[in-house]
Amino acid sequence: MKRHINIIITAVASLLIVTLAGREFIKNHKKESNDKSSTNVSENTCEDIPDTSISDTSISDTCVADMNTSDTSTSETEILKQTYENNKEQFYISEIPDDIFEKMQGKSYKADCTLPRENLRYIHVLHVGFDNQVHEGELVVNKDIADDVLEIFKELYESGYQIEKVRLVDEYDADDEASMSDNNSSAFNFRFISHTTKISKHGMGMAVDINTLYNPYVKTVDGELSIEPANGADYVDRSKDFSHKIDHDDLCYKLFTEHGFEWGGDWTHSKDYQHFEK
Ligand SMILES: [Zn+2]
């Protein structure tokens, strides 16, 4: 009996500690958000608590929160869940805003683009970077997969899955190689499949590439191995162990396939380890 009481006391004490820590976190977060609501977060200044304000300048390097606030990965996941609850409004889908559409012109939305703007959606997310801090991310996808992609990014975020950059490919002048070699994760980029009039899955906004440098696109062209991005050669051998590798055990693979996507790593004639399409 006494042992049972001890166990109960320990359990209650643990619960209390977790609850108090959570409350403190939320309190700090709210206070900080209020303090900073009218100011922009400068580049490379990372706060240890989330900031809900969105500046209208480039969001690329804005650190929203530092995840190094706890000792164990379990409590980090708890904190991420709490920050998700407090930052739900940071995960949203909208029609393509005018300023974004402007930015896409002649880049991802080329002059010959046959896909109407109404078929595309802008997605805003938070993601945990390689620096273990929370960053804002932006994607443009087909409206048909917008809900799936938002849900997947929400789950990746809550699990603390690291994605280095989620920027619009327009920031790289829609140059895929430049975006991939910078390990950028992105989706829509209008183009036809080489030597055809068929629009590629990215051109339809129906494909998403994740951690592109570590998960290159590998194919054999005229007997020679082609690697995209070219600086991804170290990550072609998938039997090697390295961080950010997408394989069948990876959470990204699991979530995308659960949502009905096909993984390019399962293709036979080429391997596109970064690529998920519907
Ligand atoms: Zn792709």
| pLDDT tens sequence across 49-81 | 344 444 333 454 455 656 554 455 668 888 888
pLDDT of amino acid 73: 64
Distance 209 CA to ligand 1 centre (A): 5
Distance 42 CA to ligand 1 centre (A): 32
Distance 217 CA to ligand 1 centre (A): 8
Distance 186 CA to ligand 1 centre (A): 8
Distance CA 33, CA 245 (A): 35
Average pLDDT over residues 74-89: 83
Distance 207 CA to ligand 1 centre (A): 6
Type of residue numbered 261:
F
Give all strands (DSSP E) within 131-232, no chain letters.
133-142, 207-209, 217-221, 224-228
Ion ligand 1: residues, Cβ under 5 Å: 207, 209, 275
Distance 82 CA to ligand 1 centre (A): 32
Distance of CA 265 to the CA centre of its chain: 19
Distance 103 CA to ligand 1 centre (A): 21
Q: Is 255 helix (H, G, I), strand (E, B) or coil?
A: helix
Distance CA 223, CA 235 (A): 20
Among left, alpha and beta (phi > 0; psi -120 to 50; other), residue 229 is beta
Pick from 1-15, 111-125, 245-259: least confident: 1-15
What is the tens place of the pLDDT at every residue in 228-261? Answer: 999 999 999 999 999 999 999 999 999 999 999 9
Name the percent of the chain lying above pLDDT 90. 63
Name the percent of the chain lying above pLDDT 70. 73
Average pLDDT over residues 149-160: 97
Type of residue numbered 136:
E
Give 6's pLDDT tier (boundaries 50, 70, 90): low
H or E segment and range at residue 76: helix 73-86
Distance 208 CA to ligand 1 centre (A): 6
Average pLDDT over residues 103-116: 96
Distance CA 224, CA 205 (A): 29
Distance 252 CA to ligand 1 centre (A): 14
Which has more confidence, 132 or 194? 132
Distance CA 57, CA 41 (A): 10
Distance 110 CA to ligand 1 centre (A): 18
Give 84's pLDDT tier (boundaries 50, 70, 90): confident
What is the tens place of the pLDDT at every residue in 23-41? Answer: 444 444 433 333 333 333 3
What predicted TM-score, i.e. pTM, was given to this entire model? 0.76
